Chains A and B, each alone.
Chain A
Amino acid sequence: MFEHILTWLVFIPILGMGAVMILPSKKHDWIRWTSVFVTAIQLILAIALLMNFDRSEGAYQFMEKYEWIKAFNISYFVGVDGLSMPMVILTPLLMFLSIFASWSIKKKVKGYFMMFLLLNTGMMGVFVSLDFFLFYIFWEVMLLPMYFLIGIWGGPKREYAAIKFFLYTLAGSVVMLLAMIALYFKTGTFSFLEMQAEVANFTRGFQIIVFLALFFGFAIKVPIFPFHTWLPLAHVEAPTAISVILAGVLLKMGTYGILRISYPILPEGTVWFAPMLAVLGLINVIYGAMCALAQTDLKKLVAYSSVNHMGYVLLGMAAVVGLQQASPEAAQAGMNGALFQMFNHGTITAMLFMLVGIIYERAHHRDIDGFGGLASKMPIYAGIMAVAFFAGLGLPGFSGFISEAMCFIGAFPMYTGIVIVSTLGILFNAGYFLWAYQRIFLGKFNEKYNDIAEIKTFEIAYLVPLIVVTIFLGVYPQPMLDLMKNTMDSIIEMVNNPVTLSWLP
């Protein structure tokens, strides 16, 4: 069964979408439970994949390749390695849990879950594609349901936010498409593996131009300053579960793309760009944190915290050049830290958005200053929020701490000044989370919320898995690092010594 497991993982949600389509649209519970069932199977498959994944191996596994459009040498080509594996676990996990966070969706339930499942396929496809054309298709497939999910089920300014998200990302995609075509004409293939084999034929100038074009597409997704402004808007308008997916999975597609495509295929471009990446990381960290400090809308605060946290990923990624500068341990720390941070941010920010959604459903607003003293009325909710906030501000014991620390440690030898300034980010981080926490939960109880209901067991149930993962990896990070380290080693090697290796399996 493992021969086609990736195909199953990608297309099971489409089957689910078909099933939902034929269900009567009045039967909301049937629709919901069908979606739960489908994503549960997907999650189980992902776990089975994880169990059978060979951690001692850095190369692609579970590959499937079929010719698709022969004239252009396009194939259906999928596979996983240590880079995609964490994402392939993260996506079904968050997808599964956010279905429960979608329970309160009452409007056009059928359409919502159909779009939701289609989105799932798009994301999984991106993470397993080994053919650029396929990658691009999935990349665009994901865009469409996202547009509708924000545009139909969102808040008051949903249409503006959805169009902005769509057009912005599309603008990035178009430039990415050009880069893809440039690579195709240079190599005559869309396969990542075959492109890597041609690295020696790419001139430095070509690499830099293509790197920049790809980067534009990916940077919008991450999002990297100054391409981030669609994010707070989209988050504020998106329904809870969509925010979870947006921040938890979609943002990672940007950094994933850079690591999957730009790094191995454009090593010289990467080395050239790495210092810029560190600078952009610094800006994301500080700028994002300062914007978060200025927020009065809790959801926007969490959105800007994503800008802040993805900055750490960029810092870690910039460390890839460590190998050339005689500090291989720094390159390892940075690259693994970056990927680990991508995963951890996914789980932590998912928790945060779910929690924001829970309070919004009760209070019907998200104004940080509009609450006060809620801890005395909702102690369990306040406790879980404290866990999420402390995980978010990088407290040891939670997974975010170790990955942030690794990003810093990795980047430090090459970009000492930048890293020292960006450690201020962890201070501001603590500032915006604790300050928000105080305004919402501590101090005198706001009598307005006398009837506010404590968090329900159902809601706790979908938060607990995330808390468990966050704490487990915070205490014992090695299993996750084992998963990724061999692949990260080979990416580091590809970037720094591109010609010495041969890539084709």
Chain B
Amino acid sequence: MESQFILAIIILFIPLVSFVGNIFFGKRLSRGGDWFSISTVGIGLLLSVILFFQMIFDYTVPEMADAQILFNWVNLGAFKIELGLLVDNQARIMLLIVSLVSFLVHIYSTEYMKDDPRYSRYFAFLSLFTFSMYGIVISASLFMIYIFWELVGLSSYLLIGFWFEKKSAADAGKKAFITNRIGDIGMFAGIMLITSHVGSFAFSEIYTGVADMNTTILTIGGILLFLGAVGKSAQFPLHVWLPDAMEGPTPVSALIHAATMVAAGVYLVLRIFPILTPEAAMVIAYTGGFTAFGAAIIALTQNDIKRVLAYSTVSQLGYMVMAIGVGSYTAGLFHLMTHAWFKACLFLGSGSVIHAMHHALHKVGDHETDPQDMRNMGGLKSKMPKTFWTFLIATVAIAGVPLTSGFMSKDAILGGTLAYAMQNPAHLLLPVFGFGAALMTAFYMFRQVFMTFYGKPANEEVHQNVHENPSTMTIPLIVLSSMSIFVFYAFGKGFHFNFAHGWFQDLVPVPHNLTQSMTGFLHHLEHSIHVAHYPAMAISVVIAGFGIFLAWLVYFKKKISAENMATKMALGYKLSFNKFFIDEIYQKRIIDPFLWLCRKIYWFDYNILDQKVIDGFGRLSILGSKVAKTFDDVVIDNWIVDGFGRATLLIGRKLRRLQTGKLQQYLAMAIVGVVILAFLEKLM
């Protein structure tokens, strides 16, 4: 086995060791066993870095056959389930993302979760999550992805509901798992559809095997598989679990609901990209675009610091999905990576603020005020400079300001959508979604910065007590925010500076083994992409600037009153603030009627089927036996059997008359008898 596979196996399984260790022995270890989890994740990070730099120095795009090993997990002769490792460039990049964010979140959590009574269990769950996520990343088969996909769902359930005493947290965990399962059903159906035609679960077989599949079935298969991503990557209409997932501890939000787990969906779309038809891709593009736009609208009006970020995450995931849908494969993964860094930074930054607010409120004896509501903050810039600066850098990056990573990746996506619309003007809506969401992103992110860090503090006393957090929390912020600077992505082979076309574009090209129709489609698109590139860049810069300016006017200069705007656009505000009432609609129109139906079915099962029908047979036979008994008593016994008796008696009584006791009479009878016998004898 080549070294890359050995490293990948170690990376995969080492967090499992710390999960098992901490679940069983964590409480008995010093510091609740956090060092155990941290060191395993640290080793994983180290090995991921090695794999990453191996890629940078090799600077080649490996053939799939060289990057994978497969084995039969289940083998029945004709039926096989293949599992295996696929360590291509995409996987190496993802491994680095997952391990670095995970490592930093582990470090950060040692402070954030310090006083939690279930401290070691928390670290065990983080390790479990890391294990599951690694599994998705290095899967060489659809079946293996599905396995780890579900395990990620489990880890997410455990971590979102970590503070399960709170009903809202328990609800959110359950909601996440079940919403995800809806997508998973689609995904599983897609897996069955594709593999029943191809006869294998391995990507390498599937990519070539779909060539002779009916296009319509392939399109359906692609969309079904994509449903898995709709769940995990919180795309409309299954996005509802993600904002609720903010009930989990904030470092968890950073790790799994911003940087990695939700990225798994996008990663799945990348993995199935070679089997997508242009029609399936179009569905994907619109789902992504719609989600990007709609979630951004909701983010505009939220007051909870984490909820803004949650909807922002939904929106940014929409970007990535849209990117892949319009054929900008590279841009999709690129944005996944850049977003992972700055969104993790933003979440951990918000966690830092919440942590500080929580302690300050605690100190002044205020248990009522919500430490997550931005309206209770303000002016924190001076109190928490490290948090502020790192938060600002990440905000600038997500807004798409030049010289940040976010600018580079978002620009590529917007260029892609623009080109897609240029190819066919009917798809104008996609770039509108894209640019519209970009505008709103710049606005709501700076709104957040201004509300949290600038202006007058909402409560002086609390403000006095706010302090910057210790370095275990701020160092991760510094590392992550620095990853948002363009220099990391602006070099090519041999570390030569190249702003427009860096290593990422070279090492993660669009795969060449696409479906025939997709190859043709992308070929046509190529020209438009070149044309669209610079206009898209220009528009996105202007739009980002405008969004920031607007936020500055409203929330910093207060030239425009936010309240006035809200009352003027009452309906729009209401829809946005209440998240388009989607949760309520689901509850009222789907979940409640469904549970009602379940209860009715059970009622039928017991009262009708069991008590009436089945017991009916019982009662019927009791009735039957009663009829039989009556028949038996009256007809058989009384009439027939006793009838014989009565008849005998009757005859006896009659015959008694013959027994008179007179000798002459007897003699006469005897003579008559003899005569009759003699006569009979003659006759014979």
Q: Is the CB of A442 within 8 A of B74?
A: no
Closest residue to B224 on the A side, CB-wise?
A: A420
Chain B nearest CB from A468 CB (Å) reads: 13
8 tightest A-B contacts by CB?
A229-B610, A294-B602, A442-B170, A329-B79, A396-B147, A329-B78, A442-B164, A332-B79
Pick the interface stretch among A34-42, A62-70, A350-358, A406-414. Answer: A406-414
In the bound complex, residues from chain B placing their C-beta under 8 Å from that of A402 are 74
In the bound complex, residues from chain B placing their C-beta under 8 Å from that of A294 are 595, 598-599, 601-603
Asked if A275 lies at the interface with its beta carbon under 8 angstroms from chain B, I say no
Distance of A232 Cα from B80 Cα, bound (Å) = 37
Interface string of A162-189 (1 = CB under 8 A from B): 0010011000000000000000000000
Given contacts A395-B151, A442-B170, contact A229 B185 (CB under 8 A): no
Interface set of B (CB-CB < 8 Å, partner A): 73-80, 143, 146-148, 150-151, 154, 157, 161, 164-167, 170-171, 174, 177-178, 181-182, 184-185, 188-189, 192-193, 195-196, 199, 595, 597-599, 601-603, 605-606, 609-610, 613-615, 618
In the bound complex, residues from chain A placing their C-beta under 8 Å from that of B78 are 328-329, 332
Q: Is the CB of B74 within 8 A of A443?
A: no
| 19 residue pairs A–B, Cβ–Cβ below 8 Å | A168-B614, A229-B605, A229-B606, A229-B614, A294-B599, A294-B602, A329-B79, A373-B165, A375-B164, A390-B154, A395-B150, A396-B148, A412-B193, A412-B196, A413-B196, A444-B165, A445-B165, A478-B74, A489-B77
Q: Is the CB of B199 within 8 A of A478?
A: no
Given contacts A229-B614, A291-B598, A478-B73, contact A427 B167 (CB under 8 A): no
In the bound complex, residues from chain A placing their C-beta under 8 Å from that of B601 are 287, 290-291, 294
Chain B contact residues: over half helix, strand or loop, or mixed?
helix
In the bound complex, residues from chain A placing their C-beta under 8 Å from that of B143 are 405
In the bound complex, residues from chain B placing their C-beta under 8 Å from that of A232 are 606
Given contacts A413-B196, A427-B185, contact A434 B178 (CB under 8 A): yes
Q: Is the CB of B167 within 8 A of A444?
A: yes
Known: A229-B605, A427-B178. 6 other contacts (CB 8 A): A232-B606, A290-B601, A328-B79, A410-B79, A419-B192, A434-B177
Candidates B77, B154, B166, B167; contact of A332 at CB < 8 Å = B77
Closest residue to A489 on the B side, CB-wise?
A: B77
Interface string of A135-176 (1 = CB under 8 A from B): 000000000000000000000000000001001100000000
Q: How many A-B residue pairs have CB under 8 A?
A: 138
Distance of A9 Cα from B220 Cα, bound (Å) = 52
Asked if A205 lies at the interface with its beta carbon under 8 angstroms from chain B, I say no
In the bound complex, residues from chain B placing their C-beta under 8 Å from that of A327 are 196
Chain B nearest CB from A485 CB (Å) reads: 5
Distance of A419 Cα from B192 Cα, bound (Å) = 10
Chain B nearest CB from A161 CB (Å) reads: 11
Given contacts A442-B161, A478-B74, contact A291 B605 (CB under 8 A): yes
Asked if A277 lies at the interface with its beta carbon under 8 angstroms from chain B, I say no
Q: Is the CB of B598 within 8 A of A396?
A: no
Asked if A324 lies at the interface with its beta carbon under 8 angstroms from chain B, I say no
Q: Is the CB of A376 within 8 A of B165?
A: yes
In the bound complex, residues from chain A placing their C-beta under 8 Å from that of B599 are 294
Q: Which of A168, A427, A430 counts the most B-chain CB atoms under 10 A from its CB?
A: A430
Chain A nearest CB from B121 CB (Å) reads: 9
Chain A nearest CB from B200 CB (Å) reads: 10
Interface string of A439-451 (1 = CB under 8 A from B): 0011111000000
Q: Is the CB of B195 within 8 A of A409?
A: yes
In the bound complex, residues from chain B placing their C-beta under 8 Å from that of A438 are 170-171, 174
Asked if A481 lies at the interface with its beta carbon under 8 angstroms from chain B, I say yes
Candidates A290, A397, A485; contact of B151 at CB < 8 Å = A397
Candidates A332, A423, A481; contact of B188 at CB < 8 Å = A423
Q: Is the CB of B598 within 8 A of A336?
A: no
Distance of A232 Cα from B192 Cα, bound (Å) = 33
In the bound complex, residues from chain B placing their C-beta under 8 Å from that of A413 are 196
Q: Is the CB of B598 within 8 A of A226?
A: no
Distance of A336 Cα from B597 Cα, bound (Å) = 34
Q: Is the CB of A291 within 8 A of B602?
A: yes
Interface string of A229-252 (1 = CB under 8 A from B): 110110000000000000000000
Chain A nearest CB from B667 CB (Å) reads: 61
Distance of A19 Cα from B51 Cα, bound (Å) = 66
Distance of A391 Cα from B146 Cα, bound (Å) = 16
Given contacts A402-B74, A419-B192, A434-B178, contact A290 B79 (CB under 8 A): no
Q: Is the CB of B76 within 8 A of A481?
A: yes
Asked if A477 lies at the interface with its beta carbon under 8 angstroms from chain B, I say yes
In the bound complex, residues from chain A placing their C-beta under 8 Å from that of B166 are 443
In the bound complex, residues from chain A placing their C-beta under 8 Å from that of B613 are 226
Given contacts A402-B74, A485-B76, contact A424 B595 (CB under 8 A): no
Given contacts A336-B76, A444-B165, contact A293 B182 (CB under 8 A): no
Interface string of A373-415 (1 = CB under 8 A from B): 1011000000000000010000111000110011011101100
Asked if A111 lies at the interface with its beta carbon under 8 angstroms from chain B, I say no
In the bound complex, residues from chain A placing their C-beta under 8 Å from that of B161 are 442
In the bound complex, residues from chain B placing their C-beta under 8 Å from that of A293 are 595, 598
Q: Is the CB of B74 within 8 A of A477?
A: yes
In the bound complex, residues from chain A placing their C-beta under 8 Å from that of B595 are 293-294
Q: Is the CB of A430 within 8 A of B177?
A: yes
In the bound complex, residues from chain B placing their C-beta under 8 Å from that of A287 are 601, 605
Asked if A435 lies at the interface with its beta carbon under 8 angstroms from chain B, I say yes
Q: Which of B166, B182, B189, B196 counts the most A-chain CB atoms under 10 A from its CB?
A: B196
Closest residue to B201 on the A side, CB-wise?
A: A409
Distance of A438 Cα from B77 Cα, bound (Å) = 42
Chain A nearest CB from B533 CB (Å) reads: 42
Given contacts A295-B602, A395-B150, contact A427 B618 (CB under 8 A): no
Candidates A167, A395, A416; contact of B154 at CB < 8 Å = A395
Distance of A169 Cα from B601 Cα, bound (Å) = 24
In the bound complex, residues from chain B placing their C-beta under 8 Å from that of A85 are none
Q: Which of A401, A434, A445 counts the most B-chain CB atoms under 10 A from its CB?
A: A434
Q: Which of A396, A405, A426 counts the most B-chain CB atoms under 10 A from its CB?
A: A396
Q: Is the CB of B75 within 8 A of A478?
A: yes
Closest residue to B615 on the A side, CB-wise?
A: A164
Chain A nearest CB from B141 CB (Å) reads: 13
Q: Is the CB of A290 within 8 A of B597?
A: yes
Distance of A115 Cα from B386 Cα, bound (Å) = 73
Q: Is the CB of B614 within 8 A of A443?
A: no
